[in-house]
Amino acid sequence: MLETRDSGLLGAYILKGFRIATAEAVIQRERVARVRRAAIKAFDGDEDRAEDFLRSRQGELGGRPPLRAAVSSDDGAEAVLRILSQIRGSP
């Protein structure tokens, strides 16, 4: 627990936490956008099929939906992109 009587210090501490959280949200949003674009491309522009894929559990991702994997980490997003490249490459 942080204890201080200096409201400026407390404000700076809260602002730092907010900036970190905001930066992480931006990174997550960028990962999801990249994965979503790749999914639409893999499904030949069919946004409904792409969204269905992104929200359905995938065994290759430990049973997680691709969107959850993409939000969780760069490695998760890369795993989703690998799956999508296989879908795109299949007949």
**What is the pTM (predicted TM-score) of this model?**
0.74
Question: 50 in a domain, yes or no?
Answer: yes
Residues 48-85 pLDDT 10s: 999 999 999 999 999 999 999 999 999 999 999 999 99
Residues 6-18 pLDDT 10s: 556 556 656 666 6
Question: 42 in a domain, yes or no?
Answer: yes
Q: Would you state the pLDDT for residue 57?
A: 97
Question: 67 in a domain, yes or no?
Answer: yes
Alpha carbon distance 86, 84 (integer Å): 5
Question: 46 in a domain, yes or no?
Answer: yes
State which amino acid sits at residue 27.
I
State which amino acid sits at residue 35.
V
Length of the chain: 91
What is the percent of the chain where pLDDT is above 70?
A: 75
Number of structural domains the chain divides into: 1
Question: 4 in a domain, yes or no?
Answer: no
